[in-house]
Amino acid sequence: MATIDGLPPLREVIATYDLVAKRQLGQNFLLDLNLTAKIARLAGDLAGSDVLEIGPGPGGLTRGLLVEGARRVVAVEKDPRCIAALQEISAAYPGRLDVVEGDAMQIDMAALLSPPVRIAANLPYNVGTELLIRWLTPKIWPPFWTSMTLMFQREVALRITAKPGDDHYGRLAILCQWRSDAKIVMHLPPEAFTPAPKVHSAVVHLTRLEAPRFAADAKTLQRVVAAAFGQRRKMLRSSLKPLGGDVEALLKAANIPPTARAEEIELERFCALARSVAERDA
C-alpha cells in the first residue's frame, strides 16, 4: 500500500526492526500516517521552524512533521531499537532529520536547535508532565521554544486547560496559562494507538506568551499555588498557613476573600497574591 511519503508502512517498519512495544518506555505507537500528518499540521508553521520531537519511536509523527514541511526535525529517542528505523527516514530527507539517541530528561535540547523552535511529540506518559513543567520553568523567559503540540492522557490535557471551578483546575493550569495560551486541539480514543492504552488521549497546543500574562515571581507563584491547592477544599485563610505571617492581610492585599477556596480563584488573583507575598518577604 502506498504511504504519504513513499517509505514503508509503519506496521512493516515495526516488523522489520522488531519494535515490539515496551510498556516501561510508555510505547503506544501511532501507525496511521494520515493522523500523524494531521497532528503535524496542528503544530503551526513548520516550514520556517526547527522541530524538537521527543520519543519518535518507529517514526510516525516524525514522518508527518517532515511531510508537512518542517525545516529540520531533531528527534530524541531513548530506545536504541528504534534508531535504525529512524535513520532510514533521515536518509530519505537529507539534512532535515537529526536522530539523537538518549534520554530527554538528561539532554540539553535547546543547544541542538536554531530558533524559531516548535516542540511536537506523542510523549511517553511517564515523563510527559515532568518535561512540560521543565519547558515552562526555564531560568529565563521567553524560553527556547515558540509553541508545543503535545499528546497527553486526556486527564492531563484537562488539567492543563482547566478554568476556575473545574474539577481539574490546579497547579498545572495555573503554570501553563500564566505563560502560554493552551488549548486542546484533538481528542483520540485508545484505539488510535498500538497497543491501545487504557486511557483516552488529547493533543494540547501551547503558544508561549512573550511575557507572563500577569506580573509575578515564578518561584513565589509556585509556592503560593502549591500551598493553596495542597488543601484545595479548605478556605484559603487556612490552606495558606504554610506561607507564614498574617495570611488574612496577604489575602486582603490581593483582593481575595479569606473564606474563598483555591479552586475558585482566577490566575490574575493568584499572581496578585504572589506579588503581596514577594513584597512582604522583600
| CA–CA separation, 273 and 75 (whole Å) | 40
Q: Are 154 and 202 in contact (CB under 8 A)?
A: yes
Q: In whole angstroms, what separates CA 273 from the centre of its chain?
A: 26
Q: Residue 162 CB, nearest distance to ligand SAM (Å)?
A: 23
In angstroms, what is the minimal distance from the CB of 168 to ligand SAM? 22
- Is the CB of 29 or the CB of 144 nearer to ligand SAM? 29
Give the residue at shortest CB distance from ligand SAM: 55
Please report how close the Cβ of residue 276 comes to ligand SAM at its closest, in angstroms.
Answer: 39
Identify any residues that bridge with 73 across adjacent strands, giving them in sequence order: 51, 97
Question: CB under 6 A: which stretch of 121-129, 137-145, 184-192, 253-261 binds ligand SAM?
Answer: 121-129
56 to 85: interface string for ligand SAM, x by CB under 6 A: xx--xx--------------xxxx--x---
As beta bridge partners, residue 235 has 261
| Position among 25, 112, 199, 235 found at the interface with ligand SAM (CB under 6 A) | 25
When the beta carbons of 58 and 170 are compared against ligand SAM, the nearer one is 58
Binding mask 158-177 for ligand SAM (x = CB under 6 A): --------------------
243 counts as binding ligand SAM under rule CB under 6 A = no
Residue 20 CA to residue 249 CA, distance in Å, equals 59
- The region of 42-50, 98-106, 242-250, 264-272 touching ligand SAM under the rule CB under 6 A is 98-106
Q: Using the rule CB under 6 A, which residue among 122, 147, 153, 180 binds ligand SAM?
A: 122
What are the CB-based long-range contacts (under 8 Å, 24+) for 220-225? 220/274, 220/275, 220/277, 220/278, 220/281, 221/174, 221/178, 221/270, 221/271, 221/274, 222/137, 222/171, 222/175, 223/274, 223/277, 224/270, 224/273, 224/274, 224/277, 225/171, 225/174, 225/175, 225/262, 225/270
Q: How many residues bind ligand SAM (CB under 6 A)?
A: 23
Biggest alpha carbon distance in the chain?
A: 69
Nearer to ligand SAM, 190 or 245 (CB): 190
Q: How far apart are the first and last CA of the chain?
A: 66
Position 104 contacts ligand SAM (CB under 6 A): yes
Q: Please say whether the beta carbons of 111 and 179 come within 8 A.
A: no
Q: Nearer Cβ to ligand SAM, position 29 or 270?
A: 29
Residue given cell 503535524 in the structure block: 40
Please report, as ranges, the residues that interact with ligand SAM according to CB under 6 A: 25-30, 54-57, 60-61, 76-79, 82, 103-105, 122, 124, 127
